[in-house]
Amino acid sequence: MVVKYLLGNEAIAHGCLEAALDTAFGYPGTPSSEVIDTLRTWPDRQSYVEWSVNEKVAYEEALASSWCGMRSIVTMKHVGLNVAADPLMTSAYTGVKGGFVVMSADDPFAHSSQNEQDSRCYAAFARIPCLDPSSVQEAHDMVRDAFSLSEEFLLPVLFRPTTRICHSKSDVTLGEVAALDRQASFEKDPRQYVVIPAHTRVLHKQLNEKQASLKKRLVESGYNRSTIRGKIGVITGGIAASYVHEVVSDSVSIAHIGAYPIDEEWLSGFIRSHERILVVEELAPVIEEVSRQVAGLVPILGKKTGHVPYEGELSPSRVAQYLKAADIPVKLDYPVIQPPAGLPVRPPILCAGCMHRTAMYAIRKVFRDGIFPSDIGCYTLGLQLGVVDTTICMGASITVASGMAQAGEKHDIVCTIGDSTFLHTGIQGLLNAVYNDANITVVILDNRITAMTGHQPNPTTGVTASGVERPAVSLEMLCRSCGVSFVETVSPSDLVQFTGVLKDAKARKGVKVIIAKQPCVITERRAKINRGKYRVSSDICIGCKACIKFGCPAIELHSGIALITDLCSGCGVCTQICPVSAISLEVKE
């Protein structure tokens, strides 16, 4: 045993290694990404680790590995589980062989996500167990044990940490990393793995028959536990359980839910020992709904009575507030901290020197009355530049654009999508748009990396998660093979050339693809590429604010004159915008 101060995702990765993980597959997405990053960079790594092109691909690969008897994990963020939902639902029927853990990291408060969906609902929908840790230590222990649980019931196990678990740091007691000794071997059994209707009906019955023993097992494991102290009780789970334990009075009973499905008989016994119950959980009322089903005449307070919100992230202070509102005593009373009045709003913006800004600046200039569907990635921050009109989910920019075009929208429609997102689920939209002759312009913002989630490689990068060099996929050839005849690749840093290509596309009908290709500015900085810095000649600057309107955070206005700060990365695009040539490369004497 050794104790280390670790990030939640690092502790989760270590738990996998202690369980003798054989294979790991994932698609990057905050807050889940560091698990694969930790596994792939582990010294003397024996397991196979892969960044896959999307969550469905990753899930099916991990499932197949399990079918071969290997212990496997697939990682993603909560919205990624939507992409993998198809194999998820059916894999509950087919079952697994080697331990198979599905890590779907939820993001209450949508810190970096497009919604706040609750992965526990997916586990209930699929009828598979779900483990919901309340601390970093518990996340480590749970994921380690999840592989055995999966093998015991021959089911996928959904592991659901939240942002506050994944990205918190804590002392964690670790075990030894286990050596690997399994050999992959697939045993043919069509009745188990071929889901034709005749087999499916049998498998569905078998899945249902596992539920009762599964519920009992989760109580026996200690994941679901209770302490009775008085006539008032709180039922809680996940990270909310840590907050409740911290603030509630010692005179109040607590039922701690760490795993699903919940054994109704056990829960009923706890509830009926009390006069009143408050359920505290983040997001969906999963615990509360089960509690109400078994409560009898005992009042259940929670989301449905307005005592706890349906949305947002909880905290110790918020939990204390809800307890007091429900007339439940607390031992600690956290003050609600308000930010000082008058602080300026600082929305997130693209990095200084980011090529996405230049591409969007040019799009806005050429397509002044255009409509701009966009996608998931750094470039969603183009919202601040007025070049993002819609964002739904991964890969939706092209399909939304073609849907608008087919609906008869008369304005020019220009959609933007990143290279990783295009490979994730954009290709199908492009195929469909071309085949059905949509009139749209597609700009693929190709920065050669999956930037927003932490610079994970993708097939345009030319290197795998393990650092093995592979031929980079050609987006040009890919688009042409989809039937696109107008495909142009150009660097947006050449504003004149890039604008000319946009104008050319605007003059044509059908699907046009422009690949705005330039490495991510952070990647270049890490590669120690130094392009120098630019400066403004104050005696030439006329204070027209043309460079300010470009939106680069390295350019400020002081006393009516533009100033370039140390944030400058040397892209030089501002020199192409300035109407009086007041900006030039700084020359060090």
Question: Measured at the alpha carbon of residue 11, what is the angle toward residues 169 and 234, in degrees to the nearest 5?
Answer: 70
Q: Is 68 annotated as a binding residue?
A: no
Q: For 57-111, where are the E strands, in sequence order?
A: 72-77, 100-105
Q: Is 541 annotated as a binding residue?
A: yes
CA–CA distance, 37 with 34 (Å, rounded to integer): 5
- What angle, rounded to 10 degrees, do the helices at 264-271 and 286-294 form? 70
How many CB atoms are located within 10 Å of the residue 541 CB?
A: 18
Q: For 288-434, where are the E strands, in sequence order?
A: 300-301, 414-418
Contact assessment for residue 271 and residue 233, using Cβ atoms and an 8 Å cutoff: yes
Contact assessment for residue 125 and residue 86, using Cβ atoms and an 8 Å cutoff: no
Q: Is 574 annotated as a binding residue?
A: yes
C-alpha 391 chain-centroid distance: 15
Q: Is 130 annotated as a binding residue?
A: no
Dump the DSSP string for 517-542: E---HHHHHHTT-----EEE-TTT--
Q: Is 121 annotated as a binding residue?
A: no
DSSP state of 155: S
Contacts 24+ apart (CB under 8 A), 562-567: 562/536, 563/536, 564/533, 564/534, 564/535, 564/536, 566/533, 567/352
Contact assessment for residue 369 and residue 558, using Cβ atoms and an 8 Å cutoff: no
For residue 452, which of 130, 89, 31 has the smallest C-alpha distance? 31
Instruction: Indicate the pairing of strand 440-446 with strand 486-490.
Output: unpaired
Q: Is 415 annotated as a binding residue?
A: no
How many CB atoms are located within 10 Å of the residue 405 CB?
A: 22
Q: Which residue type occupies 546?
A: A
Task: Collapse the DSSP code of 2 into the 3-class scheme (helix H, G, I; strand E, B; otherwise coil) and give the result.
Answer: strand
For residue 537, which of 499, 575, 483, 492 has the smallest C-alpha distance? 575
What stretch of H or E contains 489? strand 486-490
Q: Is 552 annotated as a binding residue?
A: yes
Question: Measured at the alpha carbon of residue 105, what is the angle toward residues 102 and 110, in degrees to the nearest 5?
Answer: 150
- Beta bridge partners, 39, equal none
- Cα–Cα distance list, 83 to 74, 122, 396, 420, 459 (Å): 13, 12, 12, 15, 19
How many CB atoms are located within 10 Å of the residue 283 CB?
A: 26
CA–CA distance, 187 with 330 (Å, rounded to integer): 56
Binding-site residue numbers are 541, 544, 547, 552, 568, 571, 574, 578
Binding residues for [4Fe-4S] cluster: 541, 544, 547, 552, 568, 571, 574, 578
